[in-house]
Amino acid sequence: MPTLMETVTMADWFRETANWVFLLIAFPTVFGAWRTVSSDNIVRAVLYLVVALGGTAAMFLMLGAAFIGWTVVLVYIGAVVILFLMGIMITRAPLGAEAKLSHGREVKVPAALLSGILFAVIAGSVVDAFGASIIRPFEPTLTTDLANVLFGRFIIPFEVVSFVLLAALIGGIVLARQDDVGGLE
Partner 1 sequence: MFPLDYHALLPEIILAVTVLVTLVVDLTTRKKYLVALTAMVGLFAAFVPVLTLAFCDSLEFCAAAGVDRVLFGGSYVVDGYALVFKGLFIFAAFIALLLSIGYLEADRYYEGEYYFLLIASALGAVVMASSRDFVSMIVALELVSGPAFLLAGWRKGDPRSNEAALKFFITGIIALSLLLFGVSLLYGLTGTIQFDQIAVASMAVADLPLFTLAVIFVLLGFGFKVSAVPFHFWTPDTYEGAPKPVTAWIAVGSKAAGFVGLLTVAYLAFPGVTEVWGPVMWVLALLSMTVGNIVAIKQTNVIRLLGYSSIAQAGFMLAPFGAAAASGADSLSQVFAATVTYLVIFVVMNLGAFAVVIIIGSRVGSYEFEDWAGLNRYAPGLAIMLAVFFMSLAGIPPLAGWFAKFAVFQATIGVGNWWGYSIAIAAALNAVIAFVYYAKVLKPAFFDPVPKGVDVEALEAAEIPAPIGFALALTAFGVIVLGVFPGVAANLGQYTAQVVAALGG
Judged by beta carbon, residue 95 or residue 107, the one nearer partner 1 is: 107
Find the shortest distance in angstroms from Cβ 4 to partner 1: 14
The beta strand positions in the chain, using DSSP E, are 3-5, 133-135
Judged by beta carbon, residue 130 or residue 138, the one nearer partner 1 is: 130
Find the shortest distance in angstroms from Cβ 83 to partner 1: 17
Query: Applying CB under 8 A, which residues contact partner 1?
Result: 1, 121-122, 124-126, 128-130, 148, 152-157, 159-161, 163-164, 166-168, 170-172, 174-175, 181-184
Residue by residue, DSSP assigns 109-160 as HHHHHHHHHHHHHHHHHHHHHHTTEEE---PPPPHHHHHHHHTTTTHHHHHH
Judged by beta carbon, residue 10 or residue 129, the one nearer partner 1 is: 129
Judged by beta carbon, residue 70 or residue 154, the one nearer partner 1 is: 154
Backbone angles phi, psi at 148, to 5 degrees: -60, -40
CA-to-CA distance for 81 and 106, rounded, in angstroms?
31
